[in-house]
Amino acid sequence: MTSGLPHLALALDTVRVHNAESGGEPQLLVGGSIAAHVPAAVLPASAVPASVVPGSVVPASVELVGSRLVLHADVEIDGDRWSAYIPLLTSRWGGPRVAPPSGEYRLRIMGTDAAVLTSATSTTPPQEPTLVAGVCLIEFSSAASNPVGATDATSGGPSDALTVTFSAPLTASERGPAQQARLEAQYHASKPTPLNAVFFESFYGQNASCNPRALDREIARTHPSVTRYWSVVDASVEVPAGGIALIEGSEEWWRVRAGARLLVVNDWLRKRFRRRAHQTVLQTWHGTPLKRIALTRRGLRPRAALATLRERARWDILLSQNTYSTHFFRTAYAFAHPWEEGYPRNDVLAGDAGAERGLELRDRLGVPRDATVVLYAPTWRDDHPEEVDQLDVAAFARELGPGYFTLIRGHSRTLRAAQDVHAANVLDVTSYPDVADLFLVADALVTDYSSAMFDFTVTGKPIYFFTPDLDRYRDEVRGFYFDLLAVSPGPVSESAEDLVANLRSPDAARERFAHRYAAWVARFNSLDDGHASERVVRRLEAHGAIG
């Protein structure tokens, strides 16, 4: 929304899901009558269809505005009525068409002059949830009782707009606490037939990425007869080609979780998991730790320690990127013998194919090929989980100036809670499926305490650290396993001005930190040689977990 644009009255009397059961592409139909009581000066005569009374408010387009996605549709005019069919399947990042991510979306109606039109809802939206099988569950609400003139921070539109809430497409027999309790009881009591299948899960099903995605690729190549299932929070999550998405909590999700011979995850399985005798659990984890984790965290309470040990007991295998990680996994998770094989997710970063792949990805993302691309990838803050970053990215991009392009990648824990950043020469890629692709796109990485620092150096590209809260984060919030300032492979800045200055002088930074960079790679990346996935799958074969 452009600041200062008027909110004009418009009737909204039609709200329903279209093609939900007919097999056609599912859409949300909204429509209403065209008001005729607004002064004629509001719109130019050339913008008004011949069938509409001069001076009417004429909608041109509608949008459903969520935190990380906007669904758009043009308006059709028929006499004194308007309508729009908003598609519920969209392609993001050049991938397949998928459902919108779960969450609240506000309806925003735009006029022919780009004004945001107030929708005076004169119909009651469907009161019962509408299930679009395999796509989403849809619920409607209208906050018509809000004060006139109030605006919504998410959509930029009036607060009396229609709210549409999308969630996972669970059936009536699957959704809700009572049904989940029933399915969980059946899961624990069942005696499943072992399945020649792998159950993958990455970051609690928020995406299909990281080490599990890399192992999916290798298993698909070497064991094409093995069925590959992916646990996902909803139908917005794109899974690798040939993989089968399982909506968390569905009957099929519970069934496969019990039957799959191999489970590959990169975070906790959580309390509902019960390992069967035929199952092997590979915990790949999701990064070499700078921050203290698990049993080594400061102030750990007995209950949290017990939960950590209970979770660790569910794992048969714990994957380690390097000797350093192996040492701390033995104490943090009391895991005696991790598999030290390098990280599968970094295989794509090694070798000569990365440069060409990076250019192809720039085209896919709409990033100029000739720009210097800076990837900003901070970690999350335990005490402020809603915060995506510590850097004003818009101001940062302006200070960098022409020739630079900034990608911002929030931590997986901020994926659903925060909103995309919109600014010139900035692209928010928090919802992009796999960060390894972004490492190929970037010319430089800016991070703080994220484990991305241990992966990006496989590329040999420069790395910079922005740590305005270093003392507090290190000494009060999490604690570190080593002194980052003493061994960092790139400049450490506590101010945005210093960070910009370092980025503008890459040759000086490279020369200054060449020795440290080489030592860092030798310490943390000696096994990231492009073949970690192959080694892990071979060991899984020898372990009898796949074959």
| 53 band by pLDDT with thresholds 50, 70 and 90 | very low
Kindly report, residue by residue over 274-286, the tens digit of the pLDDT. Answer: 999 999 999 999 9
The answer to whether residue 465 scores a pLDDT higher than 90 is yes
CA distance 420 to 65: 11
Q: pLDDT tier at 175 (50, 70, 90 boundaries)?
A: very high
Instruction: Express each pLDDT in 366-403 by its tens digit.
Output: 999 999 999 999 986 655 555 556 789 999 999 999 99
Give the integer Cα–Cα distance in Å for 430 and 414: 8
In the chain, the percentage of residues whose pLDDT exceeds 70 is: 84
CA 32 to chain centre: 35
Ranges 57-66, 139-148, 378-387, 504-513, most confident: 504-513
| Cα–Cα nearest to 339, from 281, 276, 412 | 281
Q: CA torsion sign, 319 to 323 to 325 to 331?
A: positive
Distance CA 350, CA 298 (A): 36
Distance in angstroms (rounded) separating the CA atoms of residues 245 and 231: 6
Distance CA 368, CA 345 (A): 26
The yes-or-no verdict on residue 250 having pLDDT over 90 is yes
Taking alpha carbons only, the member of 264, 20, 220 closest to residue 135 is: 20
The helix, strand and coil proportions of the chain, stated in percent and rounded to the nearest 5, come to 30, 25, 45
3-state secondary structure of 464: strand
Q: pTM of the full predicted structure?
A: 0.90
pLDDT at 104 over 50: yes
Say how many residues make up the chain: 547
The DSSP output letter for 477 is: I
Q: Is the pLDDT of residue 61 over 70?
A: yes
What pLDDT, on the 0 to 100 scale, is given for residue 121? 57
Angle, CA 220 vertex, CA 95 and CA 270 arms, to 5°: 80
Instruction: Please tell me the predicted confidence (pLDDT) of residue 81.
Output: 87
Residue 410, pLDDT score: 83
**Contact between 284 and 212 (Cβ < 8 Å):** yes
Percent of the chain with pLDDT over 90: 71
Return the pLDDT at 2.
Answer: 38
CATH of 177-344, picked from 3.30.1600.10, 2.60.40.290, 3.30.300.30, 3.40.50.11820, is 3.40.50.11820
Phi, psi of 209 (to 5 degrees): -150, -170
Kindly state the DSSP code that residue 192 receives in the 8-state scheme.
P
The span from the CA of 84 to the CA of 61, in Å, is: 8
- Is the model's pLDDT at 418 over the cut of 90? no
- In angstroms, how far apart are the furthest CA atoms of the chain? 78
Are both 177-344 and 351-525 of the same fold? yes
Identify which has the larger pLDDT, 518 or 127: 518
C-alpha to C-alpha distances, 147 to 1, 152, 191, 470, nearest whole angstrom: 20, 11, 57, 43
Three-class SS string for 411-461? CHHHCCCCCCCCECCEEECCCCCCHHHHHHHCCEEEECCCCCHHHHHHHCC
Mean pLDDT of 131-136: 95
464 falls in which pLDDT band (50, 70, 90)? very high
pLDDT in tens, 6-46: 444 567 888 899 876 666 889 999 998 876 444 433 444 45
Domains of the chain, residue spans: 17-143+157-167, 177-344, 351-525
Give the ranges where 288-400 is alpha helix by DSSP (H).
Answer: 302-312, 323-332, 354-365, 393-400
Model pLDDT, residue 388: 55
CATH architecture of 351-525: 3-Layer(aba) Sandwich (3.40)
Does 114 score more than 70 pLDDT? no
Which has the minimum average pLDDT: 150-164, 338-352, 481-495?
A: 150-164
Mean pLDDT of 247-268: 97
Q: Is beta strand 162-167 parallel, antiparallel or unpaired with respect to 136-142?
A: antiparallel
CA distance 265 to 283: 5
Instruction: Say if residue 52's pLDDT is above 80.
Output: no
Per-residue confidence (pLDDT) for residue 419, from 0 to 100: 72
pLDDT surpassing 90 at residue 359: yes
| CA nearest to 138, candidates 108, 162, 116 | 162
The pLDDT of residue 467 is: 94
Has residue 92 got a pLDDT over 80? yes
pLDDT at residue 264 tops 90: yes
Residue 118 has what pLDDT? 59
Task: Identify the band that residue 254 occupies on the pLDDT scale cut at 50, 70 and 90.
Answer: very high
In three-state secondary structure terms, 176 is coil
- pLDDT grade, residue 144 (50/70/90)? very low
CB 86 within 8 A of CB 109: no
- Helix (H) or strand (E) run with residue 214 in it: helix 210-222
Sequence-ordered alpha helix ranges (H) in 493-531: 496-503, 506-524
